[in-house]
């Protein structure tokens, strides 16, 4: 057997031994003697007797071990034309002083701090400062509406809010302080203080309960690390809930540190001194795990990028960052590459930069269509690795473990289950399905370290949302199959499976067919109500820049392709050519909103939407 098979089988047969060995890579105040506490199953806890500090593991120990002069963080702001580098020693000093400032504002171990910050180094500083003193941070994506911010304030009940005066978007400045002020007015809970970081572009007006970041830092003494239990929460990150009330995903300290450290070496093949760039945002779980904590736990150099894949200033932005900073591995969403491919279909911008140091491209956050995968492979000439995970899991469920054993790639698959994840595909009755057959992708309990132990102050909601559908399993909410080689194929959310005249069909499979057309940049397929068949699929495609094709001819070719590859049973006959698809700020297409408009004529526009105008423009096509 290979290294992957050995590790995977051991992780399931002997999880205690496997994860205690992995825990040896972390500096503990009190090392754990027990890996898993199952006494309150299905509410499992990892390393119940361990004590540590996450910030110490991310910063102090690297300085202690003689690598204080290595770059820890590179901030590259395409929005301001600014680049700055912070060594581990410099970042530690900034974090310790801001931790002291939080302590001076009354923040203690277990208190919550809401962070409302853009992609600036101070976002990482604030997160690590909370971890340093045992406080629990909750990052809210900068620019979220006051109502959404207020809902998170009421649920987390923070003692302090940390905000910047503004965030920067192409062609506009978003003032944050008025949003924070309105959220505080709407919220029932009243935080004691707002710490405001003034950016050059906007100076926010401070109120009676507001203090200036630089002022409180100048007065503060550096704070030391506060030891916390491995089971103590490190952060709460809110994700959308079906009831409209956001779900606060809890991440513990011990399991999180162990899992992320393991993943950096074994999945991403990143170690001390390597430059790792995750082109995402600290407001999302990807930013938590692989902009801030993962790279620093590994002793790597992380890139914090304030900009877009295109338009800041052009489709070569990513290649400039890779070249300028010697990036070894890039992690981003397929949407970013579809945007680059749409503007620069021939990849001409890549040739303008030296990207020879880039060894691997990792993509996640949504399904990677084979056409985008192939474009990236052809243009970059390096391994392109799809991997799959969720806010709830905090690190990959399925991946190609590049540092453990590089496995053959199958386009359309995030490869195999990561050690620790017992992936099963179940039918509606909870029975395992044969290889190659679609079903609900579930994870047999217990989940590995680093995954959510519960929801914030909502154990019952945690059980109901994730554990109640199939006894002994975590419900991922995704649909797909496992092939005869053990490769997992994630075809989309369970509610993206449509029922056409009694046949359950995956819209993800149809999207893969549409995306393979040479004129299509990106696409979406939704199921809409039909009085005869129950549901029928309707496609929406965005053309590549410069694509010249008659729309009627394109529709005929796409319908024929779906008929050939999926079958007449799909009843796929409707395709609209559109200018753009509505997406969240993290790049996910808002298929649910599209379905609701198609079926009812209206939808509640999500707070996570990137540009509401795109959805408004699409309404006539959705209504048919």
Domain check: are 153 and 89 in the same one? yes
Domain check: are 214 and 179 in the same one? yes
Kindly report which listed range (44-58, 439-453, 500-514, 579-593) carries the lowest average pLDDT score.
Answer: 500-514
Coil vs helix vs strand at 288:
helix
Domain check: are 409 and 547 in the same one? no
Residue ending a domain, among 446, 480, 514, is: 480
Burial class (CB in 10 A: 0-12, 13-18, 19+), 564: exposed
In DSSP notation, 412-479 reads T---EEPTT-EEEEE-TTSPBPPTT--EEEEEESSPPTTS-S-BTT-HHHHIIIIISSSTTEEEEEEE
- The candidate with the shortest Cα–Cα distance to 294, out of 308, 282, 307, 306, is 282
What would the pLDDT profile of 396-405 be if each residue is shown by its tens digit? 999 999 999 9
- The candidate with the shortest Cα–Cα distance to 164, out of 173, 172, 156, is 173
**Best-predicted range by mean pLDDT among 29-33, 478-482, 534-538, 600-604?**
29-33
Residue 206, domain member (yes or no): yes
Residue 341, domain member (yes or no): no
Domain check: are 182 and 240 in the same one? yes
The pTM assigned to this predicted structure is 0.85
Residue 26, domain member (yes or no): yes
Split at pLDDT 50, 70, 90, the class of 31 is very high
Domain check: are 82 and 196 in the same one? yes
Residue 485, domain member (yes or no): no
Domain check: are 458 and 507 in the same one? no
The number of beta carbons lying within 10 Å of the beta carbon of residue 500 is 18
Domain check: are 599 and 465 in the same one? no
Residue ending a domain, among 480, 515, 538, is: 480
Domain check: are 430 and 571 in the same one? no
User: Does the pLDDT of residue 497 top 70, yes or no?
Assistant: no
Split at pLDDT 50, 70, 90, the class of 605 is confident
C-beta of residue 217 within 8 angstroms of C-beta of residue 198: no
Residue 224, domain member (yes or no): yes
Count of domains observed in the chain: 2
Supply the range of the domain harboring residue 559: 501-622
Average pLDDT value over all residues in the chain: 93
7: left (phi over 0), alpha (psi -120 to 50) or beta: alpha
C-beta of residue 354 within 8 angstroms of C-beta of residue 412: no
Domain check: are 414 and 524 in the same one? no
pLDDT at residue 499, rounded to an integer: 66
User: Does the pLDDT of residue 241 top 60, yes or no?
Assistant: no
Residue 343, domain member (yes or no): no
C-beta of residue 419 within 8 angstroms of C-beta of residue 7: yes
pLDDT at residue 503, rounded to an integer: 59
User: Does the pLDDT of residue 169 top 70, yes or no?
Assistant: yes
Percentage, residues of the chain above pLDDT 70: 96
C-beta of residue 254 within 8 angstroms of C-beta of residue 50: yes
Residue ending a domain, among 451, 480, 509, is: 480
Domain check: are 10 and 120 in the same one? yes
| CATH assignment at residue 211 | 3.40.50.12780
Residue 583, domain member (yes or no): yes
Residue 202, domain member (yes or no): yes
Give the whole-angstrom CA distance, residue 525 versus residue 561.
14
Give the whole-angstrom CA distance, residue 201 versus residue 165.
8
Domain check: are 530 and 444 in the same one? no
Domain check: are 475 and 558 in the same one? no
């Amino acid at each position: 057997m290979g290294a992957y098979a050995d590790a995977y089988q051991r992780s399931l047969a002997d999880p205690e031994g496997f994860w205690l060995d992995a825990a040896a890579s972390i500096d503990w105040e009190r090392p754990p003697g027990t890996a898993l506490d199952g006494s309150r199953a299905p509410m499992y806890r990892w390393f119940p007797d361990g004590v540590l500090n996450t910030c110490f593991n991310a910063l102090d120990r690297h300085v202690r071990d003689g690598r204080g002069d290595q770059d820890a963080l590179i901030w590259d702001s395409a929005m301001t034309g600014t680049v700055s580098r912070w060594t581990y020693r410099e970042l530690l000093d900034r974090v310790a002083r801001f931790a002291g400032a939080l302590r001076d504002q009354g923040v203690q171990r277990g208190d919550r701090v809401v962070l409302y910050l853009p992609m600036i180094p101070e976002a990482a500083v604030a997160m690590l400062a909370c971890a340093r003193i045992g406080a629990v941070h909750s990052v809210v994506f900068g620019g979220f509406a006051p109502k959404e911010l207020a809902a998170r304030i009421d649920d987390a009940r923070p003692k302090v809010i940390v905000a910047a005066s503004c965030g920067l978007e192409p062609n506009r400045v978003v003032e944050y302080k008025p949003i924070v002020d309105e959220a505080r007015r709407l919220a029932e809970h009243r935080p004691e203080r707002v710490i405001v970081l003034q950016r050059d572009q906007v100076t926010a007006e401070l109120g009676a309960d507001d203090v200036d970041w630089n002022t409180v830092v100048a007065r503060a003494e550096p704070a030391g690390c506060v030891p916390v239990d491995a089971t103590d929460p490190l952060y709460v990150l809110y994700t959308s809930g079906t009831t409209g009330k956001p779900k606060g995903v809890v991440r513990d300290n011990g399991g999180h540190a162990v899992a992320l450290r393991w993943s950096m070496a074994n999945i991403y093949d990143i170690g001390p001194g390597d430059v790792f760039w995750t082109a995402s945002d600290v407001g999302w779980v990807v930013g938590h795990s692989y902009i801030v904590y993962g790279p620093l736990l590994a002793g790597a150099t992380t890139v914090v990028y304030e900009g877009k894949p295109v338009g800041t200033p052009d489709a070569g932005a990513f290649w400039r960052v890779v070249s300028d900073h010697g990036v070894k591995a890039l992690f981003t969403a397929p949407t970013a590459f579809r945007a680059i491919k749409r503007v620069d279909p021939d990849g001409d911008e890549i040739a303008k930069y030296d990207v020879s140091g880039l060894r691997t491209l990792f993509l996640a956050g949504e399904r990677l269509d084979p056409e985008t995968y192939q474009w990236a492979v052809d243009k970059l000439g390096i391994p392109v690795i799809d991997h799959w995970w969720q806010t709830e899991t905090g690190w990959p469920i399925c991946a190609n473990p590049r540092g453990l054993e590089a496995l053959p790639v199958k386009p359309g698959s995030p490869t195999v289950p990561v050690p620790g994840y017992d992936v099963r595909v179940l039918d509606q009755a909870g029975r395992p399905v044969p290889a190659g057959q679609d079903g609900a992708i579930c994870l047999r309990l217990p989940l590995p370290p680093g995954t959510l132990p519960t929801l914030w102050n909502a154990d019952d909601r945690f059980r109901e949302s994730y554990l109640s559908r199939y006894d002994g399993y975590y419900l991922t909410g995704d649909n797909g199959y496992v092939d005869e080689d053990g490769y997992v194929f994630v075809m989309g959310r369970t509610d993206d499976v449509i029922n056409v005249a009694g046949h359950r069909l995956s819209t993800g499979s149809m999207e893969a067919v549409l995306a393979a057309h040479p004129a299509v940049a990106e696409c979406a397929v939704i199921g809409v109500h039909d009085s005869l068949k129950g549901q029928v699929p309707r496609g929406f495609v965005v053309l590549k820049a410069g694509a010249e094709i008659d729309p009627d001819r394109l529709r005929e070719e796409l319908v024929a392709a779906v008929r050939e590859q999926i079958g007449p049973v799909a009843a796929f006959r409707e395709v609209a050519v559109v200018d753009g698809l509505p997406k969240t700020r993290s790049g996910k297409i808002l298929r649910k909103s599209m379905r609701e408009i198609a079926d009812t004529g209206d939808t509640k526009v999500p707070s996570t939407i990137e540009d509401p105008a795109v959805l408004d423009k699409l309404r006539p096509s959705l209504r048919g």
